[in-house]
Structure 1
Amino acid sequence: MSPFLGELVGTALLIIFGSGVCAGVNLKKSYAANSGWIVITMGWGLAVAIAAYAVGQYSGAHLNPALTVALAISGDFPWDDVLMYVIAQVLGAMIGAAVVYLHYWPHWKETDDPSIKLGVFATSPAVPNVSANLLSEMIGTFVLVLGILAIGANRFADGLNPFIVGFLIIAIGLSLGGTTGYAINPARDFGPRLAHFLLPIPGKGPSNWSYAWVPIVGPLLGGALGSLVYKALFLGKTSAALWGVLIAAAAVLAGAGMMKGKGAGSAVAGRRSV
Structure 2
Amino acid sequence: MQETRDEDIIKHISMGDIHPDYARTYLDAVLTKPASQDIIAYELRKDPSLASLPDRLRKIGIHPDYNPLYKELAYQIPPVADIITMAVREAFTPDIAAKFGQYEDYPPDLETWAMKKGLSKEWSQRYWAAHWNLPSPLQGFEMLHRGVINVGELNMLLRALDVMPFWRDKLTQIAYRRLTRVDIRRMYKAGVITTAEVYESYLEHGYNPKNAKRMTDFTVAWAMPKHASITRSDILTAYKNRMITRTEASDLLADMGEEYFHREFMLKAVDYK
Confirm or deny a common fold (TM above 0.5).
no
Alignment TM-score, normalising by the size of structure 1: 0.22
Alignment TM-score, normalising by the size of structure 2: 0.22
Report which of the two structures shows the higher radius of gyration computed on alpha carbons.
2
